[in-house]
Amino acid sequence: MSAELYEAGLAVRKEIAGAEFVEATLAAADDFTKPMQDFVTEYCWGAVWTRPGIDRRSRSILNIGMLAAANRPEELAGHIKGGITNGLTKTEIQELLLQISIYLGMPAGLGAFRVAKRVFDEMGI
């Protein structure tokens, strides 16, 4: 493992997902789940999210679309929160989800809207 990438990834992960959430997630990791947490921190957050080619806002737009397409509601919720952190508005997320509904189908769109509504309610948005 690259300590440099891990530390960079940890910093970005905390900025986007929230330090409290990340620290709780890492603290809850056990012998089985810790390698996955290390992997996602180093490679996803460290090697990819720190790249200069596109901004964090654009990465959030991509992740929301991909996670809706992959039907991953738990991860979608986290990336909707991250999208807000990265500057997306509720209206922009609504438009993303409408676009997703047309290209992925109404069941995917309806599910994504349910996830987003729950996130917005939790965040008081």
- pTM reported for the whole predicted model: 0.91
Give me the tens of pLDDT residue by residue for the chain, a chain 125 residues long: 789 999 999 999 999 999 999 999 999 999 999 999 999 999 999 999 999 999 999 999 999 999 999 999 999 999 999 999 999 999 999 999 999 999 999 999 999 999 999 999 999 99
Strands (E) in 30-76, as ranges, are none
Residue 73 contacts residue 111 (beta carbons within 8 Å): yes
Q: How many CB atoms lie within 10 A of CB 90?
A: 15
CA distance 108 to 6: 33
Position 101 scores a pLDDT of: 96
Tell me which residue of 50, 44, 47 sits closest to 79, measured CA to CA: 44
Q: What per-residue confidence (pLDDT) applies to 1?
A: 73
Domains and CATH numbers, the chain: 1-51 (no CATH), 54-125 (1.20.1290.10)
